[in-house]
Amino acid sequence: MDSIIKFNNVTFEYESEENTSKVLENFSLEIERGTFNVILGHNGSGKSTLAKLTNGLIKAKSGEVLVNGMSTMDEEKEIDIKRTVGLVFQNPDNQIVSSIVEEDVAFGPENLGLSPEESRERVDNALKATEMYEFRDKPTHKLSGGQKQRVAIAGIIAMEPECIVLDEPTAMLDPRGRKEVLNTILKLNKEKNITIILITHFMEEAENAHRVIVMNDGKVTADGKPCQVFAQTDVIKEAGLDLPQTTDLLSKLKEKGFSVSGGIISADECVKEVSKLLDLEEI
């Protein structure tokens, strides 16, 4: 397995004058290159801390985080690591620094010291990849929430990272905005082979992931393909998470003695399972 990110026995804690709060302890995890990974967990489960550790925004107290074999503790590798792993946060307004879309996306490449020609090419490619090219000369404050988040993602893409970590990027968006951002994430993974780590509260966003990781109290409690993880309904509930409606429906049917598959998230797959019970080809 070719891993782009490795957590080796990582311990991290937040310190204040009153107390010390340990978030991760002897935590180990590997992220395979080119995969789409979804991390689920309630507030305080450690998932946002994990996101910040991936590119050295915060440092482990012990253990090590490796990015392409580079330790995030190595100050000489800091720039290379941040070029490799880009972070996108919940509120796009916190990442947008310019009043015009293309100027905002150009901010990163220009700070890398690239030539105007290369910077221009990267900006155009990033805007096209996120389907925001037609908005390149628009004021950022006039964009919708989903459009702003796509601009924030474009700004990261223009840095040409190998991996993008998105920490609850759809939490503040309406359903349409969520769909726009998710489609962009899937496109980047499929067409550009960018490794994706998506942290979310929305179970349905895990439908197309290669791998789903459930975190609870700083530990991984489930890890596998979506169908494998969501079949573990007790683990999902113990993590303080709600089952997707489709999974919940089929789980309840199974409890009643009906023969249905578990772990299904897709609405279409759910319809097929219910159709079998009704002995119909279609509903």
| Region for 231 from its dihedrals, namely left if φ exceeds 0, alpha if ψ lies in -120 to 50, beta otherwise | alpha
Please tell me the predicted confidence (pLDDT) of residue 281. 47
User: Range of 220's domain?
Assistant: 3-226
Residues in the chain: 283
Residues 251 and 214 reside in one and the same domain: no
Q: How many domains does the chain have?
A: 2
- Look at residues 193, 222, 196 and name the one whose alpha carbon lies nearest to residue 209: 196
Return mean pLDDT, the chain.
Answer: 88
Please tell me the predicted confidence (pLDDT) of residue 279. 67
Read off the pLDDT band of 85 (50, 70, 90): very high
3-32 tens-digit pLDDT: 999 999 999 998 877 777 889 999 999 999
Residues 124 and 177 reside in one and the same domain: yes
Residues 78 and 123 reside in one and the same domain: yes
Sign of CA dihedral 198, 201, 205, 206: positive
251-271 tens-digit pLDDT: 777 777 777 776 677 777 778
What average pLDDT score do residues 101-123 get?
90
Classify residue 157: in a domain, yes or no: yes
- Look at residues 42, 74, 39 and name the one whose alpha carbon lies nearest to residue 56: 74
Classify residue 234: in a domain, yes or no: no
CATH number at residue 54: 3.40.50.300
| Among 185, 200, 226, residue at a domain's last position | 226
Please tell me the predicted confidence (pLDDT) of residue 240. 87
Distances (CA, A) of 132 to 90, 128, 239, 262: 19, 6, 37, 38
Read off the pLDDT band of 1 (50, 70, 90): low
Tokens describing residue 29 = 């995890």
Classify residue 237: in a domain, yes or no: no
Residues 164 and 283 reside in one and the same domain: no
Helix/strand/coil percent split, the chain, to 5: 40, 25, 35
Residues 110 and 204 reside in one and the same domain: yes
Classify residue 134 by burial, with Cβ atoms within 10 Å: 0-12, 13-18, 19+. Answer: exposed
**pTM for the whole structure:** 0.87
Q: Evaluate if residue 219 carries a pLDDT over 90.
A: yes
Residues 8 and 59 reside in one and the same domain: yes
Residues 251 and 135 reside in one and the same domain: no
Is the CB of residue 33 less than 8 Å from the CB of residue 162? yes
- Look at residues 74, 89, 72 and name the one whose alpha carbon lies nearest to residue 199: 89
Residues 214 and 264 reside in one and the same domain: no
155-201 tens-digit pLDDT: 999 988 999 999 988 888 888 888 888 898 999 999 989 999 999 88
| Among 193, 226, 259, residue at a domain's last position | 226
| Among 226, 257, 272, residue at a domain's last position | 226
Please tell me the predicted confidence (pLDDT) of residue 283. 46
Q: Evaluate if residue 245 carries a pLDDT over 90.
A: no
Residues 22 and 85 reside in one and the same domain: yes
Classify residue 233: in a domain, yes or no: no
Residues 113 and 251 reside in one and the same domain: no
Residues 206 and 262 reside in one and the same domain: no
- Beta-carbon contacts of residue 256 (< 8 Å; ≥ 6 apart): none
Please tell me the predicted confidence (pLDDT) of residue 233. 85
Residue with tokens 């507030």: 43
